[in-house]
A = this chain, B = another copy of it.
């Protein structure tokens, strides 16, 4: 199985699918192609939340503002999965969860199991412009603006064909000692309060913070201060009237600020990066 993720919108992901289908019969599953454009951090968050629910697979990820520069194309091997994408940190949070013994989808607790990173060697530009597009390996950046199609998709197909356990033996891959990392900030908890930040806002307008849900889970039915406003703490959205804001624990395991049948970001006036102070 090869999953596909990008910030490409449409129809560029289809070109990647074509390239993959030229090279392998792997099953394809789309994760998302509407990640905010060139927003490595938000894509990294969602991949960390979603990929651990998949069986071992090759995950092709292209959120790549540095396309065409000298940033490497890498493959990260973790927990039987392989993640293929640019060396800009986007793969790392998901890879840490996949590598660790972390319960799937529970944020912030990856315990750092084995994780290996490989650089993809590149073929020459000249080779790619004359060769059969099905045979070029290592891949050559035929374009300098669409490595999803010209580099990452061939790599994902190659890793899938060789197998996650076997691919590093191929001449096209070289172990790396260092790579770009990306970590989400931790909330600080002191006594009866926590100060954290908004990591992302989902499509419903639910505000996802970095405060661990454990601080809230025992308090369902009570209220809590959110940036100075008293807000009910509830286990489910529909336990309050439409339009009422709540503190809850989201499906990611973190504290989430939401509105029953409404948007939490508007109600609480919060956006990614905003500071959230909770007091109970």
Please give the residue numbers on chain A whose beta carbons come within 8 Å of chain B beta carbons, in ascending order: 1, 3, 5, 8-12, 14-15, 17-19, 21-22, 28-35, 37-38, 46, 49-55, 65-69, 103-105, 129, 133, 142-146, 149-150, 202-204, 235-239, 248-251, 256, 258, 261
Contacts and interface: CB of A to CB of B under 8 A. Distances in A.
A8 B143 contact: no
A154 to B, nearest CB: 11
A75 B256 CA distance: 30
A238 B10 contact: no
B144 A249 contact: yes
A28 B3 CA distance: 13
Contact of A103 (B50, B67, B129): B129
A237 B145 contact: yes
A14 B251 CA distance: 14
Contacts of A105: 15
B38 A261 contact: yes
A15 B30 CA distance: 11
A251 B22 contact: no
B203 A251 contact: no
A53 B11 contact: no
A8 B32 CA distance: 12
B238 A8 contact: no
Contacts of A29: 14, 17-18, 21, 28
A135 B127 CA distance: 49
Contact of A251 (B31, B55, B145, B238): B145
A51 B145 contact: no
Given A9-B202, A21-B29, A68-B239, 13 more contacts: A10-B203, A17-B29, A18-B53, A18-B55, A21-B55, A65-B237, A65-B261, A67-B237, A143-B249, A143-B251, A145-B248, A146-B251, A150-B251
A68 B149 contact: no
- Of A5, A34, A237, most buried by chain B (CB within 10 Å of CB) is A237
B69 A238 contact: yes
B15 A50 contact: yes
A147 B34 CA distance: 23
30 contacts: A5-B11, A8-B203, A11-B35, A12-B202, A14-B29, A14-B32, A15-B49, A15-B105, A18-B50, A18-B51, A18-B53, A21-B29, A22-B53, A22-B55, A37-B204, A65-B237, A65-B238, A66-B236, A66-B238, A68-B236, A68-B239, A69-B238, A69-B239, A104-B133, A143-B251, A144-B235, A144-B248, A145-B236, A145-B249, A145-B250
A143 B142 CA distance: 45
